[in-house]
Amino acid sequence: MNKLTGIRRLVLDVLKPHHPSTIELAETLSVIDGITGVNIGLYEVDQKTENIKITIEGDQIDYNVVRQAIEKLGAVVHSIDEVAAGNRLVEEVPTLQDR
């Protein structure tokens, strides 16, 4: 039987207040066990909030721990836009439907 390999990549759509900063959020997530890298992109800003996309990579990402860390900083996960699991990351490739 194969050993479970866990989540290796998560892409999250997150709504956060202006404070704490995106830098603080990235630093907080980057030190969670199982996470090897965090990338945060800002997509929309209004008077009180920011809409961001968080890409997380690692070997054994625990979504519940990530979600709790995000919520502790006053943000909320709107959606899980991508999940990758297994022995290696599989990159998405364009298909005829994407044209």
pLDDT score of 14: 98
The rounded distance, in Å, linking the Cα atoms of 78 and 12 is 8
Query: Higher-confidence residue: 57 or 6?
Result: 57
Q: How many CA atoms lie within 13 A of 49 on its CB side?
A: 9
Question: Which comes out higher in pLDDT, residue 34 or 98?
Answer: 34
pLDDT of residue 4: 55
69 DSSP 8-state letter:
H
Domains in the chain: ranges and CATH: 7-87 (3.30.70.1340)
Give the pair of three-digit tokens for residue 98. Answer: 């994407």
Looking at the chain, list the stretches that DSSP marks H as alpha helix, in order from N- to C-terminal side: 22-30, 63-72
CB atoms within 10 A of CB 2: 6
Evaluate whether 70 touches 76 at the Cβ level (below 8 Å): yes
Model pTM? 0.87
Taking the C-alpha atoms of residue 36 and residue 69, their distance in angstroms, rounded to an integer, is 16
